[in-house]
Amino acid sequence: MTALIVAAGSGSRLGGEMPKQFRALGSKPVLAHAVDALLGHPRIDAVRVVVGDGQDELATSALGGRDVGALIRGGRERHDSVRNGLEAIGGGVVLVHDAARPFCPPAVVDRLLGALDGHDGAVPVLSVSDTLAKGDSVLRDPVDRARMLRVQTPQAFHAEDLLYAFDEAKGAAPTDESSLMLAAGLKVATVEGDAMLDKLTGPADWARAEALLAARLVGRTGMGFDVHGFAGDGPVMLGGIAVPHERGLAGHSDADVALHAITDALLGAAGLGDIGAHFPPSDPQWKGAASEVFLAHAAQLIRDGGGLIDHVDCTIICEAPKVGPHREAMRARVAGILGVGVAQVSIKATTTEGLGFTGRREGIAAQAVASIRMELNQ
């Protein structure tokens, strides 16, 4: 069975810089969500995508290497895009789906395929819970909502039947395929739809989809610890800024212990190993590297995984230099590198009362805790 995703629209009602289907929603573009949801279903053998003129580059980038065969050219209206897609894939059972519906629960696909036995087509529907009335600015006749259904996609058909229905319609402009099928005298079953399938049409729909994604995230915590010994002349790089001090810190990179501890805390929260695994000290390209590169990379990995950084807290442990006068500058710098607000970053400092290696002024230690939100199984 083939799933045909139409993604050739311009997304005019949602607005924004690029059509909604190519925009990132959480960790990946809307189209990638839609493709993954269908490719992940065991009974779907192939997914094909219809895109508009001039959209190939946006679509290819949004698809990020997913196997959808050659892109199919769409048409002026949605039904033109569906028709082009049907002609490109030929026969067999087809699930026609909107790219603008990023989340498709597998159970809906199961229900559709079950209903296809004994019917020419099957569509997911939901009842309407709000009161409905005809009107413009003035309410006119109430509509009997018991007789109203919201029709969603994917819709399941035999491609040959649907092409026949298109031919019979002779150019009429349906908003979905089930109405074409019914007009051609074919039998279409309804199955229970799902609110997850609601279409992204206007800005409120986008906000709702983001909230749905965020609800799947759970709080995760990571810790980090790092030490560098003093060597050579100052200043020391600490918390992303150069702090005046008579001695510098030894290290392969710029030896910023605070940024290293925060980087490890973030990697730990995301379950992504440690800083040495991502930036091996044996690799000459990191010699003298600015540690902000490491920190920014950890933050990007979390975002790429659909995660959010909630808070980081770092304690710098040394007798000197004094951290207090630089604390706010460090917070602002770390927040800037992470792309979060200053309130989400805490920098603290302590001495060890003259005890141990930090007490003997041999080096600086830092420890950090990071709180993030990410999907459990990421």
Q: How far is the CB of 347 from ligand CTP (least distance, A)?
A: 46
Nearer Cβ to Mg ion, position 9 or 193? 9
- Please report whether residue 49 would count as binding ligand CTP according to CB under 6 A: no
Nearer to Mg ion among residue 14 and residue 38 (C-beta): 14
CB of 92 to Mg ion, least distance (A): 27
- What SS3 string covers the chain? CEEEEEECCCCCCCCCCCCHHHCEECCEEHHHHHHHHHHCCCCCCEEEEEECCCCHHHHHHHHCCCCCCCCEECCCCHHHHHHHHHHHHCCCEEEEEECCCCCCCHHHHHHHHHHHCCCCEEEEEEECCCCEEEECCCEEEEECHHHCEEECCCEEEEHHHHHHHHHHHCCCCCCCHHHHHHHCCCCEEEEECCHHHCCCCCHHHHHHHHHHHHHCEEEEEEEEEEEEEEEEECCEEECCEEECCCEEECCCCCCCHHHHHHHHHHHHHHCCCCHHHHCCCCCHHHCCCCCHHHHHHHHHHHHHCCCEEEEEEEEEECCCCCCHHHHHHHHHHHHHHHCCCHHHEEEEEECCCCCHHHHCCCEEEEEEEEEEEEECCC
Closest CB 101 distance from ligand CTP, rounded Å:
7
Q: Which of residues 9-48 bind Mg ion (CB under 5 A)?
A: 9
Within residues 8-47, the interface with ligand CTP by CB under 6 A covers 8-13, 19, 21
- Judged by CB, which is closer to Mg ion: 74, or 321? 74
**Nearest CB to ligand CTP, comparing residues 26 and 154:** 154
Residue 315: name its binding partner from Mg ion, ligand CTP, none (Cβ under 5 to 8 Å by kind): none
Q: What angle separates helix 257-270 from helix 327-338, to the nearest 10 degrees?
A: 40
Q: How many residues bind Mg ion (CB under 5 A)?
A: 1
Give yes or no for residue 50 binding ligand CTP (CB under 6 A).
Answer: yes
Q: Which residue's CB is nearer to ligand CTP, number 3 or number 259?
A: 3
Q: Is there binding between residue 74 and ligand CTP (CB under 6 A)?
A: yes
- In angstroms, give the least distance from the CB of 180 to ligand CTP: 15
For ligand CTP, the binding residue among 99, 109, 238, 302 (CB under 6 A) is: 99
Residue choice 22, 25, 86, 98 for contact with ligand CTP (CB under 6 A) = 98
Residue nearest to ligand CTP (CB): 9
Find the part of the chain contacting ligand CTP (CB under 6 A) among 73-81, 188-196, 217-225, 318-326.
73-81
Give the x/- contact pattern for Mg ion in 74-93, rule: CB under 5 A.
--------------------
The binding site for ligand CTP (CB under 6 A) comprises: 6-13, 19, 21, 50, 74-78, 81, 98-100, 199, 201
